[in-house]
Amino acid sequence: MHILFVHQNFPAQFGHIASYLVKGHGIRCTFVSQQPPGHFDGIERIQYHIQGGATQQTNYCSRTFENAVWHSYAVYEAMRARPDLRPDLVVAHSGFLTTTFLQELYRCSVVNYFEYYYWTVGSDMDFRPDFPCTQINQLRARIRNAPLLLDLDACDLGYSPTQWQRDRLPKLYHDKVRVIFDGVDTQLWRPQPNFPRRIGNWSVPEGTRVVTYVARGMESLRGFDIFMRMAKVLGDRRKDVVFVVVGQDRIVYGGDNEIIGNRTFKEWVLAQDHYDLSRFHFTGLLPTNVLAELFAVTDLHVYLTVPFVLSWSMMNALACGTTVLASDTAPVREMIEHGRNGLLVDFFDIEGLAATASKVLDSPADYKHLGQAGVEMIRSRYSLEVCLPQMLRLYEDALSQRA
């Protein structure tokens, strides 16, 4: 069997499964992306080059789709230049491109990964009235679904990482799309009870409590402003707590710049109130092993999100046995049951978040059972050992439909 993986980045969602197939099953895997060509861990990497894209003259609503077409065509051209490669199966991340062009090049099975389908009501787009979505962005969201709709119609099978994300797809296609999580590497993300209490070169003083927040960027969609407001309330009440914020000072998701103007979201948040920044450690992005060590040190991890794609960081924190306080939103409720393997509080309830956090910090040991339940859940339902065989079965079933 020969599988072609398609994603703009490498290894992205497909790294673990590709390695599993190559090393464990002797399956040939090729990866086409925008990363430099070469060979990595038994996988050939092919690079595609975009020759154009949306411009100011392109209608705002169709720019994302226009760019998806350019990505799709660039992948098609890169693979057409390699007639020696004839995959049996194409596996691609749908959204930033569509696999419909490749289906003119190969008469093979196709599996698409469907991460997020946009709705303008009951979604991330209208969840925060304090950050209202403009009408033009609502119209644009409708067109952003176009690549997914093309792939939903044309693929043999698909998958989404959570039930909530799958259920956002049009009901017409639900039977075609399975729920399979990407998989958590529990060799990396695991409890480390004897890890020394330090953050980088800074040793955590005896009696000091550590609260963490992790996101790729700092934005309203991941509740960075809510976290900071909660941290201020908590910090004003307790002098024994420090806050560690992991992530870049940039907006990854959403249109916050349309509300806050020409500054970063972090700058905007800090300007809203007085913060004792000596209590905060802003680390930027951290290597995965360092982040795992941080989860071993923290007394409480706070995860906030509007209804949107669930972050790997929350799952990784659970795998490390960390006590997690999260927003009571639909994608989170799929993973965390309040009082069993974590704590849930309404996204907007600053006082509730601060009060709950304070209870945990009063006696972190009393909440260790939540982290232990989180570890058990990840290992039994979401570990690589569980998810990768499910993924292989999906691929085999897609192949059998064309047999």
Instruction: Please write the tens of the pLDDT for every residue from 60-83.
Output: 999 999 999 999 999 999 999 999
**Dist CA 169 CA 165 (whole Å):** 7
Report if residue 343 sits inside a domain. yes
For residues 349 and 275, state if they share a domain. yes
For residues 161 and 253, state if they share a domain. no
Q: Structural domain of residue 117, as residue ranges?
A: 2-183+383-402
For residues 222 and 165, state if they share a domain. no
Per-residue pLDDT band for 319 (boundaries 50, 70, 90) equals very high
Task: State the CB neighbour count (10 A cutoff) for residue 251.
Answer: 21
Q: What is the mean pLDDT of residues 184-205?
A: 93
Q: Is the pTM of this model over 0.85?
A: yes
In three-state secondary structure terms, 215 is coil
For residues 15 and 144, state if they share a domain. yes
Report if residue 362 sits inside a domain. yes
- In 3D, which of 121, 324, 105, 69 has the Cα closest to residue 214? 324
In three-state secondary structure terms, 234 is helix
Within 13 Å of residue 143, how many CA atoms lie on the same side as its CB? 16
For residues 332 and 355, state if they share a domain. yes
Q: What is the mean pLDDT of residues 256-260?
A: 90
Per-residue pLDDT band for 254 (boundaries 50, 70, 90) equals confident
Q: Specify the DSSP element, H or E, that contains 179.
A: strand 177-179
Q: What is the mean pLDDT of residues 160-172?
A: 98
For residues 390 and 360, state if they share a domain. no
- Percentage of residues of the chain with pLDDT beyond 90: 96
**pLDDT tens, position by position, 336-352:** 999 999 999 999 999 99
Q: What is the pLDDT of residue 200?
A: 84
What are 41's two structure tokens? 């861990």
Report if residue 193 sits inside a domain. no
Per-residue pLDDT band for 246 (boundaries 50, 70, 90) equals very high
Report if residue 190 sits inside a domain. no
Report if residue 192 sits inside a domain. no
Q: Are 316 and 334 a contacting pair, CB within 8 Å? A: no
Q: What is the mean pLDDT of residues 192-210?
A: 91
Spell out a b/e string for 291-325, using b for 16 or more CB atoms within 10 Å of the CB, else e. bbbbbbbbbbbbbbbbbbbbbbbbbbbbbbbbbbb
Q: What is the pLDDT of residue 47?
A: 98
For residues 166 and 203, state if they share a domain. no
- Percentage of residues of the chain with pLDDT beyond 70: 100
For residues 234 and 344, state if they share a domain. yes
Whether residue 403 is predicted with pLDDT greater than 80 in this model: the reply is: no
How many separate domains does the chain show? 2
β-bridge mates for residue 29, sequence order: 3
Q: How much helix, strand and coil, in percent to the nearest 5, is found in the chain?
A: 40, 20, 40
**Dist CA 49 CA 34 (whole Å):** 7
Q: What is the mean pLDDT of residues 300-324?
A: 98
- Scanning 126-264, the segments in alpha helix (DSSP H) are 135-144, 146-154, 163-167, 224-237, 257-260
In three-state secondary structure terms, 101 is coil
Whether residue 185 is predicted with pLDDT greater than 90 in this model: the reply is: yes
Report if residue 64 sits inside a domain. yes
Spell out a b/e string for 204-232, using b for 16 or more CB atoms within 10 Å of the CB, else e. beeeebbbbbbbbbbbbbbbbbbbbbbbb
**pLDDT tens, position by position, 274-298:** 999 999 999 999 999 999 999 999 9
Whether residue 390 is predicted with pLDDT greater than 80 in this model: the reply is: yes
Q: What is the pLDDT of residue 264?
A: 95
Q: Are 284 and 247 a contacting pair, CB within 8 Å? A: yes
Q: What is the pLDDT of residue 38?
A: 96
CA 220 to chain centre: 16
**Dist CA 129 CA 127 (whole Å):** 6
For residues 392 and 348, state if they share a domain. no
- In 3D, which of 109, 160, 173 has the Cα closest to residue 400? 109
Q: What is the mean pLDDT of residues 379-391?
A: 98
